A and B are shown apart, each in its own frame.
Chain A
């Protein structure tokens, strides 16, 4: 899965001084042989080409297409430029847009405020080596192994109004997926169900790596459990915290599969990603309009990416 964030590269060991003063003349010592340099050049060039070709060019093309009304038919030369009309339409004339932005923010808030801390809490509990902790760990991690689309199907069986388990057990007839006031929360429970397991595993890995002497020192000083966690352990977990933060933001921005499986992101389940797909994929596509929505999403992502990079770079400089 592409979920796992890359190991941070900002803690690299500084290279050994490449300059050795010899006598009166300063001479650069070649640390790299010719083969090494070719390898390094390739290692830089190939990923660079891939990133430019597969990420930056399409992103640039999306921004360009967002100023046209192309429908995917006909030669590129026939594409008509319409300027900012798509953006004007998105904002003024497209009822699902505002709910989509709200839902994306709600998604972020729910994962951030509820699911992530809960995952953290479970990790701390499991770290205590309770009896059967392996079992709990597996049970909680299980949803992460399933694809979100499959999770959509599983929860559909629980939430169906007429035939679902939830209504049958509670004796209610709530329209979990159909009532736009309820369905986003119902979906968030399903999405959170998966997210919690994921965060739990990340934290568990972090907690196992915490130096036990820190805990001992805290215990010797007579710190309470809570205090030890918040003032000793949590700060030590800083790298994990950043990863979890990023994962949470990514998860909420790319939220898509679940609502798509349920009702293609309509009727209370609008998300930016679903709107982009609705407009771009399929026959007689509104590529220009969909690209405008995609550009909005790109801008939103850039905000988070910038914040993340700024934090990481500042860290690296320290």
Chain B
């Protein structure tokens, strides 16, 4: 447990747990020296149950372990306390550890509300009965677009997720480089290819590219699949319902093969940071990545960063779908304080919570479209507009499919493709065979 910060907190600690009703879990967590940081709800966790009502608290499992997001969560929870009079005990766990332990966490004694991701990753746990139905919370939410609602819906048509923030994937470029060379934003794949050819002539690497860590290439696969086959096919393919050996998938790889020579070579030894730096150093013309690409730019250079959504390939499908992974909140299957948990979930999806996030975190976009976004940078505003105008929002390959399939099959397969783009038939049938052994239930 953390040190008491005020005298009142110190005194509250003196109450023995048996009297204060400190729950066994946080006691154990504290004893084990784990990061059972009770945050703002320190007294609440220890003391306020002593009245016997036990209805003034709610616990939150947070994966926002970096200092900045952690601070934002604390501020949002302060806002919740002010508006509802309830205390939130925030239990912060390192981001990756949280993800890797999610199975055990949800099957053990999870916090009432926990942070998670939209997409298959959410639907998987919902279908396994490890999360609670939040349809009633959704009935009271306002300012959430239909696309967000769809991304929060489980296989049974009920909502299990409340979105809080997100970031879109798009093609990023430096305005100054484009102005200098007179480049225009491409509207079709042919435009894009022609533009890339021109960039090559001008001595630029047309498309920065990196896949050492395995996941960035998923973004390229996703966007090509969304543009060629559309959102529903993407979802079905990721859910294991479509065959990887179909002509539709082969066409994705085929198109990608055509574009590969325009990508930065030797991508398998490069991290996305290194690829982003080539864009920042004006050696590359454009880069398909999430909004977080901005992290590799100095504040002074950020104004020079711009983006466009990946152009249309098939006019019948258009260019309105995109990857925009959403982070948010879910409720455990049997929360101890269910009514309070629902109140908390309603609050984190509200305009008030979104306003607090906008005011405190310049690096993320908030899901609620009623939020006061006057604090956004030009880049953030444009990103929010892009997602707002999207007809469908995909969650990124590894969030839209079984994680074991994404990491043990797709990553090696995409790397194999980048190494040797010729053998598409062999590649897709290998993926399909492995898919069959994984999607068994």
B404–A71 contact, CB under 8 A? yes
Contact A264 B214 (CB under 8 A): yes
Which residues of A from 139 to 191 have beta carbons under 8 Å from B? 159-163, 173, 175-180, 183
Distance in angstroms from A128 CB to nearest chain B CB is: 41
Residue B377 interfacial (CB < 8 Å): no
* Residue pair B438, A286 in contact (C-beta under 8 Å): yes
Provide the bound-state CA to CA distance between A86 and B265, in Å.
Answer: 36
Contact A282 B407 (CB under 8 A): yes
Main SS class of interface, B: helix
0 or 1 for each of B117-133: is its CB under 8 Å from A? (1 = yes): 00001001000101000
Number of A interface residues in the complex (CB < 8 A)? 38
Does A176 lie within 8 Å of B214, measured CB to CB?
no
| Interface pair A284/B404, CB less than 8 Å apart | yes
Which chain B residue lies CB-closest to A88? B437
**Within B92-111, which residues are at the interface with A (CB < 8 Å)?**
99-100, 102-104, 107
Closest B residue, CB atoms, query A183: B269
Query: Is the CB of A72 closer than 8 A to any CB of chain B?
Result: yes
CB closest residue in chain B, given A86? B437
Given A96-B412, A178-B270, A283-B403, does the pair A73, B102 have CB atoms closer than 8 Å? no
Given contacts A93-B437, A176-B269, A267-B268, contact A282 B99 (CB under 8 A): yes
- CB pair B274–A179 under 8 Å, yes or no, is no
B416-A283 in contact (CB<8A) = no
Looking at the assembled complex, report how far the CB atom of B30 sits from the nearest CB atom of chain A, in whole angstroms. Answer: 26
A180 partner residues in chain B, CB cutoff 8 A? 268, 419
Please count the residue pairs between chain A and chain B whose beta carbons lie under 8 angstroms apart in the complex: 100
Question: Is B100's CB under 8 angstroms from A175's CB?
Answer: no
Which residues of chain A (82-127) have a CB below 8 Å from chain B? 85, 89, 93-96
Determine if B251 is an interface residue (Cβ-Cβ < 8 Å).
no
A94 contacts across to B, CB distance below 8 A:
434
**Contact at A286–B415, with CB atoms within 8 Å?**
no
Tell me which residues across on chain A come within 8 A of B269, comparing CB atoms: 159-161, 175-179, 183
* Contact among B267, B403, B434, B440 with A178 in the assembled complex (CB-CB below 8 Å): B267
1/0 contact string of A262-293 vs chain B (CB within 8 Å): 11101100000000001101111110010000
Within 8 Å of chain A (Cβ to Cβ): is B155? no
Are A69 and B268 touching (Cβ within 8 A)?
no
The contact of A285 among B103, B265, B270, by CB within 8 Å, is: B103
CB pair B412–A284 under 8 Å, yes or no, is no
Q: Which residues 232-280 in A have Cβ within 8 Å of B in the complex?
A: 262-264, 266-267, 278-279
Residue B408 at the A interface, CB < 8 A?
yes
**Cα A267 to Cα B121 with chains together (Å):** 25
Asked if B176 is an interface residue, CB under 8 A from chain A, the answer is no
Q: Tell me the bound Cα distance from A312 to B157 in angstroms.
A: 65
Q: How far is the CA of A161 from the CA of B268 in the complex (A)?
A: 10
Residues on the B chain within 8 Å of A96, using CB: 412
B157 CB to closest chain A CB (Å) equals 22
CA distance A278 to B277 in the complex (A): 29
Give min CB distance, B265 to chain A, whole Å: 8
B430 surroundings in chain A (CB, below 8 A): 95
Is A73's CB under 8 angstroms from B403's CB?
no
| Set of chain B residues within 8 Å of A95, measured between Cβ atoms | 412-413, 416, 430
For B277, list chain A residues within 8 Å (CB).
Answer: 162-163
Docked complex Cα distance between A280 and B139 (Å): 39
Interface presence of A74 (CB below 8 A): yes
Q: Which of B102, B407, B419, B437 contacts A89 (CB 8 A)?
A: B437
Q: Are A161 and B419 in contact (CB under 8 A)?
A: no
Return the chain A residue nearest B420 by Cβ.
A180
Q: Which residues of B contact A175 (CB under 8 A)?
A: 265-266, 268-270
Please, what's the 1-or-0 string for B385-411, where 1 marks a CB less than 8 Å from any CB in chain A?
A: 000000000000000001110011001
User: Residue among B102, B213, B268, B270 with the most chain A CB within 10 A?
Assistant: B268
B265-284 with Cβ < 8 A to chain A: 265-270, 274, 277-278
In the complex, are the beta carbons of A93 and B434 less than 8 A apart? yes
Alpha-carbon distance A189/B277, docked complex (angstroms): 28
Given A279-B404, A283-B100, the answer on whether A267 and B415 have CB atoms closer than 8 Å is yes
User: Which of B130, B266, B402, B434 lies in contact with A173, CB distance below 8 A?
Assistant: B266
Contacts of B416 in A (CB 8 A): 95
Give the docked Cα–Cα distance between A173 and B266 (Å). 9
List A contacts of B437 (CB < 8 A). Answer: 85, 89, 93, 289
Tell me the minimal C-beta distance from A138 to chain B in angstroms. Answer: 32
Residues of A with C-beta under 8 A to B214 = 263-264, 266
Cα–Cα distance between A284 and B265 once the two chains are bound (Å): 34
Smallest CB separation, B396 vs chain A (Å) = 15
Question: A279-B404, A283-B103 are contacts. A163–B274 as well, Cβ < 8 Å?
Answer: yes
Given the complex of chains A and B, what is the CA–CA distance between A160 and B104 in angstroms?
A: 37
If the complex has contacts A163-B274, A267-B419, are A178 and B412 also in contact, measured as CB distance less than 8 A? no
**In the complex, A247→B344 CA distance in Å?**
56
In the complex the two chains form, what is the Cα distance from A160 to B437 in whole Å? 36
Chain B nearest Cβ from A153, distance in angstroms: 12
Chain A residue nearest in CB terms to B106:
A73
Residue of B nearest to A94 (CB): B434
Which residues of chain A have a CB within 8 Å of any CB of chain B?
Answer: 69, 71-74, 85, 89, 93-96, 159-163, 173, 175-180, 183, 262-264, 266-267, 278-279, 281-286, 289
A183-B269, A266-B411 given; 7 more Cβ-contact pairs under 8 Å = A89-B434, A96-B412, A175-B268, A266-B415, A267-B268, A267-B419, A282-B99
29 A-B pairs with CB atoms under 8 Å apart are A69-B440, A89-B434, A95-B412, A96-B412, A161-B270, A163-B277, A173-B266, A175-B266, A177-B212, A177-B268, A177-B269, A178-B266, A178-B270, A262-B212, A263-B212, A263-B268, A264-B213, A264-B214, A266-B415, A267-B419, A278-B407, A283-B99, A283-B100, A283-B403, A284-B103, A284-B402, A284-B403, A284-B404, A285-B103
- 10 closest residue pairs by CB, A with B: A178-B269, A178-B268, A175-B266, A175-B269, A177-B269, A286-B404, A267-B415, A284-B403, A72-B103, A283-B102
